[in-house]
Chain A
Amino acid sequence: MDISQGFITFLRSLLLTMVPFVLAAQGTMLAGRTGVFIVAQEGIMLTSASVGFIVSYKTGSLFYGMLAALLVGGIYGVLIAYMTTTLKMNQFVIGLSFYFVGVGLSTLIPKLVIGVTLTPPLIPTLQDVPIPALRQIPIIGDIFFNHNILVYLSILISMLLYYFLYKTSWGLEMRSVGENPKAADSLGINVSLQRYIAVIIGCMLIGLAGVYLPMVYTGTFTEQMTRGRGWLSSALAFFGGWRPLPIFLGSLFFAGIEVLSYRVQVQSVGIPYQFLLMLPYVATILVMMLTFKRSTTPAFLGKNYDREKRTL
């Protein structure tokens, strides 16, 4: 294997690894743009991974598994939106509660449905879908056009979100809710409705990010298999300044660190592997040190809007 071949494999695995980051961070971003800061990603991803895996295992269809993951995400979305937007409960408290709920459910459900088995139950991993003509282009075709469906979908969703938020009037309305809900309200925009929609769709994307792990990486569900990817996605939303395209690029960067840390582990270069395991988290903190101050965040991120209150 020459160097160029190695480079192609590296780029290919970048696209493969970025997907959970893209989906979860874009979901976080969408809700955040209306002012709801979701911090339950880790829990939502784990429950979706667990339920999506079980549904696939029982029905033999990965498609149903994905639908189940979207549904799980949607349910979390409804609950989070209701408690934060309608009941005006503290967003972080609610997020942490659902994080806890999600972690618990993710291990409880497999125990109830499948029970304890000696060998882990397996599902077939998601197959690559080469794109007919484009696949034939040398190098580019190998890197970009021979992936599983969720890779294409995550790219598509990023582009759609960009178009939606910046090129449509609905997107503008949604952004205004996160920047100044009072002004948005006075213009006749339904603040609660916008928040509900953004949070529910956002949580569905986070759910899809979760089910990617068993469907592409492992073929089975294991406890805590997200390994902090949900939290990293929150960091990513900040890193990308809550904008779809920078978040997409940031996901590539995060994926790069993850791929690199695995690569170096395999090639054993003398660094204890535990320090390579730390790499994604330490790198994220370092990146935040460089970018956090300059990063733009929606002005109302994390704050509930109460039209009865005079002060914002």
Chain B
Amino acid sequence: MFWWYREIMKKILSNTFASYFLAVVLAFIASGVFIAAMGYNPLKAYQTILFTSFRTVNGFTQTLLKFIPLTLLAFSFTVPYKTGKFNIGGEGQFLMGAIGATAVGILGANLPTYILLPLVLLGGIVMGGLWGLIPGWLLYQFKISEILTTVLLNFVSFALVNYIATAVWGDPTAGHPTTLPIGDGGHLPMLVGNPPLHSGIIILLLVAVGIYYFTDRSTLGYDIVATGANPRAASVYGINTRVMFVLGLLIAGALAGLGGAIEVAGIQHHLIEGMHSNFKILGIIIGLISGGSSLAVPFVAFFISILEVGASAMQRTLMIPIEVVYIVEALVLLFVLLSDVVRRR
């Protein structure tokens, strides 16, 4: 009787994109019920969440500025994920990158842009990379689960940021743990002056293409994917899987570190305690929704950036708690994961 329904479902489920789209729609419906149950108008909430980014230039710029670090943090999850490892330490690596960038920016404050800016970014990449290398080494040498070490190092980095922003280069006039500003030469040039949009977006696009090429088109990337798909088969084939694990975590750290450096060089110009708090573990969520696909990461990250910018507007204008967006994001993730299960059957 419902043959047409079955036919449609079959069509949708046979198409990956369509089934994910259906999952997102279902997640929005389910969280809409939830929002209504809390006593708010879900349609109004969604209107603000989805369209704030496109209503004004400012909103769109805000979205792009969120999109840059979120994409890098998501890549820092998906690259090790391809080797079968879980990097929960994106936040910490991001902060270490910010520390590295700030240190270079303060120590070389008088250098001209064409020297200082690359050094600032490099400082972030190196520090973040080192912070990713530690769990990599612990995994290689001692077989300690990277899930635990990466997340524990986050807490170390929180304390380190506080130390540097108060005791080392603290700015006593700031009122909140903040360092002195980095030299002007370390600032990323602006693409648009008002509303301010820095050139980090160009770096990001280059990195995104590079990561896609690396994981999906290069030999080394193939080794990484093979390691994740079946470590035993990969090592029989001659891939040193343990080195691949370390490499994945190293790249992850470097990417998150670059994110921290761009945040310092492009927006904050200081190291500020809590500067990661807008991104938290969203990188992981984006990575999981993307299912580890390097191609999907930027698109999912952009979608989540829209939700995040929209949600703060929703809190401001409609007085709906911003945490509502967690429900939406969590359900999108769960429904996307579930759609994989359904499709497998």
B-binding residues in A (CB < 8 A): 39, 87-89, 92-94, 96-97, 99-101, 103-105, 107-108, 111-112, 227-228, 231-232, 234-235, 238, 272, 274-275, 277-278, 280-282, 284-285, 288-289, 292-293
Chain B residues with a Cβ under 8 A of chain A:
38, 86, 88, 138, 142-145, 147-149, 151-156, 158-160, 162-163, 166-167, 280-281, 284-285, 288, 321, 323-324, 326-327, 329-330, 333-334, 337-338, 340-341
Contact between chains at A293 and B143 (CB < 8 Å): yes
Given A288-B142, A292-B143, CB of A97 within 8 Å of CB of B148: no
On chain A, the residues within 8 Å of B329 by CB distance are 100, 104
In the assembly, what is the distance between CA of A293 and CA of B341, in Å? 35
Q: In the bound complex, how far is the Cα of B145 from the Cα of A235, in angstroms?
A: 9
**A13: min CB distance to chain B, Å:** 21
- From B138, B156, B334, give the contact of A281 (CB < 8 A): B156
- The answer to whether A292 touches B144 (Cβ under 8 A) is yes
Known: A274-B163, A277-B162, A289-B142. 12 other contacts (CB 8 A): A89-B341, A92-B86, A94-B337, A108-B326, A228-B154, A238-B145, A274-B167, A278-B155, A278-B160, A281-B156, A288-B149, A292-B144
Known: A104-B330, A227-B155. A289 touches B144 (CB 8 A): yes
B338 contact set on A, CB distance < 8 A: 87
Pick the contact of A278: B86, B159, B166, B330 (CB < 8 A): B159
With a cutoff of 8 Å between Cβ atoms, the chain A residues found around residue B166 in the complex are 274
A-B pair number, CB within 8 angstroms: 114
Contact of B337 among A39, A93, A281 (CB under 8 A): A93
Give Cα A96 to B148, complex, Å.
Answer: 12
Q: Are B321 and A228 in contact (CB under 8 A)?
A: no
Known: A96-B88, A112-B38, A228-B152. A104 touches B144 (CB 8 A): no
CB–CB B152/A231 < 8 A? yes
- A97 B156 Cβ-Cβ under 8 A: no
Pairwise interchain contact A97-B288, C-beta atoms closer than 8 A: yes
8 sampled A-B residue pairs with Cβ under 8 A: A96-B88, A96-B281, A97-B330, A108-B326, A228-B154, A231-B151, A274-B163, A289-B144
Do the beta carbons of A274 and B160 come within 8 Å of each other?
yes
Assess the A293–B330 pair: CB atoms within 8 A.
no
B280 contacts across to A, CB distance below 8 A: 103
